[in-house]
Amino acid sequence: MQISVKSDDKEIIFELNNNQASKELYEQLPLIIEVEDYASNEKIFYPPKKLDTSNTPLANAKTGTLAYYAPWGDVVMFYKDFGTAAGLYELGKVVSGEENIKNLSGTIGIKKT
């Protein structure tokens, strides 16, 4: 499963893992949603429905990791290495456009590819 994240002329493609949370995010697409910068190392957005993290591994987040932070219900796109945190689950990894994550802002479009 792959998804496309677009803002203006910037596109990022992520390959989703085969786990429950990734499948639930995929089923909510397409989305037009606001993205925010957080902690100067990640971009976050809040999907309409919380994701079930059953059978979803915890993330060891590096640049290009797509993750879900269950305590807040946000999806995270890392543009700098981060590491681990309680409640941070791995959804997938960037396939292309990693350099565009840092520049995402405002309204983005997310769709199945």
pLDDT of residue 84: 96
pLDDT of residue 111: 99
End-to-end CA distance of the chain: 8
The two tokens of residue 46 are 């809040």
Look up tokens 């807040």; give the residue. 72
Predicted TM-score of the model (pTM): 0.96
Mean pLDDT over each residue of the chain, to the nearest integer = 98
Q: Residue 26's domain is classified under what CATH number?
A: 2.40.100.20
- pLDDT tens digits for 40-57? 999 999 999 999 999 999
pLDDT of residue 1: 97
Please state, in angstroms and rounded to a whole number, the distance separating the CA atoms of residues 84 and 62.
9
Q: Which amino acid type is present at position 101?
A: I
39: confidence class by pLDDT, cuts 50, 70, 90: very high
| Count: domains in the chain | 1
Domain span at 81: 2-112
